[in-house]
Structure 1
Amino acid sequence: MTKLVYASAIALCSGLAAGTAMAQDAADCGRVSIAEMNWASAGVAAWVDKIVLEEGYGCQVDLVAGDTMPTFTAMNEKGEPDIAPELWVNSVKDPLAAAVEEGRLIEAARILEDGGVEGWWVPRYIADAHPEITSVEKALEHPELFPAPENPSRGAVMNCPSGWSCQITTANLFRAEKAAEKGFDLVDSGSAAGLDGSIANAYERQQGWFGYYWAPTAILGKYDMVRLPFEADLDLEEFTTCTTVVDCDDPKVTEYPVAEVFTVVTQRLAANNPVVMDYLEQRSWKNEVVNALLAWQDENQATNEDAAWHFFETYPEVWKAWLGDEAAQKVEDAI
């Protein structure tokens, strides 16, 4: 009995010691709050960060629901949450610049290595079958390849749903290109599901499709689409002062700017948590990886957490490049 009690005491002390060591490791990283934004790529990114920081570095991570403006405002005014993994900078460009200049917020890595990409796209099978279609303007020479749903004698340019900013930009570029005079109608997709469904239906029937879309998205992970450039360089002033303005009087053709998409953190985190900052300054992924990941999530009706674990299982060459050997091994052990 004495030996049993002694052995139990040793085991208890060992467990307490291990627990204390783990607590100290967690204390080194501290408690971190991350915004789980309400669109797919950002939600998955939040879970990727949570898993890395908890499993690889012993942090205590809290996820909080987020959206662009509420999260930015809370971080800017209250200093919380600590991290917005995927902030599309163009939507908060001026106030973010002020917050960075005044030291309240810090831009870490460009999480989307390719940036957020907008444009007019066609299916790969159309581009392969018609190699002469190398630009938006060349596509507009062929309304017969992209029949409008309600009037197949005319071509269709599929637009964004009502209320989205891309509905405005697409409509202005449609007018700038004089697409109606070239035999095209601008077709309202009705909803996000309607826009996605139009691409899916075209692919199922191997029919023409032409219109606005963006990356990274699940649809571009499911369907091989080709982004057509405009035969005009980016004119940022034109884009800002006219292309994005409802019913701009005299829109001109301009390329879309690539959206800057950064991880943004509070000054408090940046100053007090070098472990987290070292990781965030390395963490970045390509749109093709995100597209494929979101397609898997959609097809499997998976959660953000499920998609994050799938990422770790499927793309070790990506995430291991973000981490030191010890942290990478801990994450791998957790898979």
Structure 2
Amino acid sequence: MRIRHHGPVRGRRVVAALTAGTALAVLTGCGAADMTRQSSPYAAAQGAKTVTLSVQSWVGAQANTAVAAYLLEHELGYRVDTVQVDEVPAWDALSQGRVDAILEDWGHPEQEKRYVQDKRTITPGGDLGVTGHIGWFVPTYFAEAHPDVTDWKNLDKYADQLRTAESRGKGQLMDGSPSYVTNDKALVKNLGLDFEVVFAGSEAAQITQIRQFAKEHKPFLTYWYKPQWLFERVPMTEVRLPEYQEGCDAEPAEVACAYPHTPLQKYLNTRFAEAGGKAAAFLKKFHWSVEEQNEVALMIAEEKLPLQEAAKKWVERNEPVWKPWVR
């Protein structure tokens, strides 16, 4: 899920770009707080072993933060606060020192130029180790029965089978929240497809709908993304869109190409990066695979484990992976 931007593309995570007045929820500590008016009590605290991590709403980002927080607390002796912040406001909060680190960013060139290159208030923290990708997907059982559906040029052939009560007589392309920023309406229009973009309402609602379609063995076409644990439960096959070329999505209304593949990045507040001691060094070293992230994400989303318990289980099973991060 990516934010729309112009210029060189490094990726676009599709989440709501909330305004500066949006209230941000503190997930640990003393409860809800408006982070646009006050800092977390632990962010950039002078001389204290405290760290504040920004966490996005999707489960992969929650998995990153859960494991990082657990290791910071149990191996390095830090107090950790986590704050739920959407992507563009997170850059503002990071620049101002209201959070110390973002562990999964899908690419925001405008913010990188402003805060990393010009103001130098944010410092790159290195690759997360995971590559993100958005695309259109059909269930693998449908792709195996109709192999040509995996080419966008053949989608109209199956529009009748993909029609729903909400798609106004056309085939349905299911998206997540109506507040997400996607290319899908432009893609449908510019590729001349007989489809209607229908929003499920949220990521959770989209997952529920996908699983219901799969349970009934019905065909569906959905906007989805990797990495995501749901692929482990509902195998899906990507539909080939016109090949992505650098800059092909620079003009939002004219997009007619696939989404890019994006190496996900970490970012640190510059003051924290320079004076954050072992915590800053640890976060720079934090680097894991899609499979490792999905292992934690599955425990959170599928097994409904609390974040700390999921992190504890993963840490206990994977000492050779994380031990170099804390040295």
When the two structures are superposed, what TM-score results if normalisation uses the length of structure 2?
0.73
For 1:252 and 1:141, the matched residues in 2 are separated by 22
Q: 1:124-143, aligned counterparts within 5 Å?
A: 124-143=140-159
Give the counterpart letter for 2:189 in structure 1: R
CA contact (8 A) 1:282 1:322 kept: no
When the two structures are superposed, what TM-score results if normalisation uses the length of structure 1?
0.71
For 1:49 and 1:31, the matched residues in 2 are separated by 15
Aligned length in residues: 278
Q: Offset at 1:107? A: 1.1
Q: Secondary structure at the match of 1:165?
A: coil
Q: Offset at 1:260? A: 5.0
Higher-helix-fraction structure? 1
Give the counterpart letter for 2:121 in structure 1: R
Q: Offset at 1:153? A: 7.7
Q: Secondary structure at the match of 1:110?
A: strand
Q: 1:105-254, aligned counterparts within 5 Å?
A: 105-115=122-132, 117-149=133-165, 155-166=171-182, 169-180=183-194, 184-236=195-247, 238-242=248-252, 248=253, 251-254=254-257
Q: Secondary structure at the match of 1:33?
A: strand
Q: Offset at 1:98? A: 2.6
CA contact (8 A) 2:52 2:100 kept: yes
Larger Rg over CA atoms? 1
Q: Secondary structure at the match of 1:227?
A: strand
Match of 1:323 in 2: 323
Match of 1:43 in 2: 62
**1:258 pairs with 2:261:** yes
For 2:88 and 2:150, the matched residues in 1 are separated by 37
CA contact (8 A) 2:135 2:239 kept: yes
Unaligned runs of 5+ in 1: 1-28, 243-247, 329-335
Q: Offset at 1:43? A: 2.7
* Shift in CA distance, 103/192, structure 1 to aligned 2, threshold 3 Å: closer
For 1:36 and 1:254, the matched residues in 2 are separated by 31
For 1:230 and 1:189, the matched residues in 2 are separated by 22
For 1:202 and 1:128, the matched residues in 2 are separated by 16
Q: Offset at 1:199? A: 0.8
* Shift in CA distance, 135/280, structure 1 to aligned 2, threshold 3 Å: farther
For 1:187 and 1:66, the matched residues in 2 are separated by 26
Give the counterpart letter for 1:293 in structure 2: V
CA contact (8 A) 1:137 1:231 kept: no
Kindly provide the CA deviation profile for residues 241-298 of structure 1, in whole angstroms up to 9, marking residues without a partner as x: 22xxxxx3xx352111234532111222322345344433332233344344323312
Match of 2:21 in 1: none
Match of 2:114 among 93, 98, 120: 98
Unaligned runs of 5+ in 2: 1-46
Give the counterpart letter for 1:75 in structure 2: L
For 1:193 and 1:271, the matched residues in 2 are separated by 38
* Shift in CA distance, 61/189, structure 1 to aligned 2, threshold 3 Å: same
* Shift in CA distance, 130/34, structure 1 to aligned 2, threshold 3 Å: same
Match of 1:13 in 2: none
